[in-house]
Structure 1
């Protein structure tokens, strides 16, 4: 088993350049401006980080409208979100939201949130050339995974959408396609790798995925083959990491009982894990970082950073107004 530090060293060796930074939690609400734009509330609950332009309808240049962000990178007003994890009580069937906790090695003061990566991967060719990385343009959005995924075969096909049963914050254990089958000493870790090849034309597509293409064949931060002619533009490999603090529920999980955790869309298996992205970097800030091929973490100072004490002051209002925490008889938005 590799510790986070070992994983990071291996990652640095593989990528040409990239960013790794934390974003504190912005809000937990039933809104989804990518899949259900304009709908308030959306079908299920999401955990959102990033810029304060987040709302039910988001079009155009999000970065220009943002005035604060929960991310360490002060010029990043993008929004990143996933479904929310709940514990289902094995006796009475009630639900309790699982809190998000800090990932290892994040900036001091980060509150919950996610770890965000923008990485560049080598791809192997005879002459070992490296493909230029193009930053996402204003208005760009995409999703990865689907809440309708319900078979093991389908889930295995979603390369890079995986779980770890944390032994500690520095010892992730093996990657899994489904939820852990026993209590995890330090929580459940989820990772979402997005595709990195763009068709060069569409900022979105009807399914929010067809304008992108994934050439990576293996889980983790692995080298990527060249982009195909249908999607010729190499973009950063975007990845989210989230740590769900399931430890407070370990004593309520009877020995030998099935996994008691569910996603907020009533996903009782882990197959339906998914994530959404709305680009919102200011100006050419992300491109400046991607152009620093000798750097990792912060783009050699090419972009501005902020203290997490400042980032944590960024908020958005509650636009839905429903109970999402504490013990509830049903998941937010669900009939039963």
Structure 2
């Protein structure tokens, strides 16, 4: 790949913006435009492991971290992106290109879609026995996974608190998800019960944790990756912006081949921009029966010869899943 160089105008703009951020953060400034062209190292591959506004934290192939500016007109880059960058000094660099993505997770943002994380191949939906999730909460995440064609697993945290009768009913529902084809892991981040099998799977993937507040995503991350807090501290020290460490998406290594991305903003997913077709196809056990109803405009409620209702009575669709579909459709309509 030929060496790319920044124009003088781009260098000046980069210098100005970085100087302002460095002044606010107390971080060392990027060298001046007069010396930047001379000090840029050769292009090399890197992994974007954290994103703080317009400042990127890039890991080189040796595992070293660099605080990088962004070349103009590259488009939005996100945690998990593979990039081409050039080193400026021992701490800083410039990202000059983003490499093609295998996958991208987005969420709606002011009638547009905003990229959140890239190159994920496993969506780990974290729920808990305390607090018990609403039925539609889990199904909404699964709809998103199906729409993105992204394999999903269900991680049920706080199994050490599963003592009440309503937990038994919850466990029965979880069995239905396993039948549908969603692997599940019953774990406790505090006692480490169930964690070895979850860890073995996650080591084979780049995963992102999603789930509502209170389910223990952070404690689960720390249980799986004991030095996660140390990694956060290193990122904070490099960026000199500790107040952002709980709001920025960050990538952590799990073993030699696994990665976990913690993206706090990703819980803001909603389905209001999804069509009815996208939602119903997000219930993958419904698909064999779609288009089989007597009436083309069947709402799958009480219409005669409704294929989904028939499948439910035959035990091929769990009644609570069909009810969840109707609840989600009703919520979006309102």
- Relative to its length, the structure with more helix (as a share) is 2
Same fold (TM over 0.5): no
Greater relative contact order (CA < 8 Å, ≥ 6 in sequence): 1
TM tier, shorter chain? under 0.3
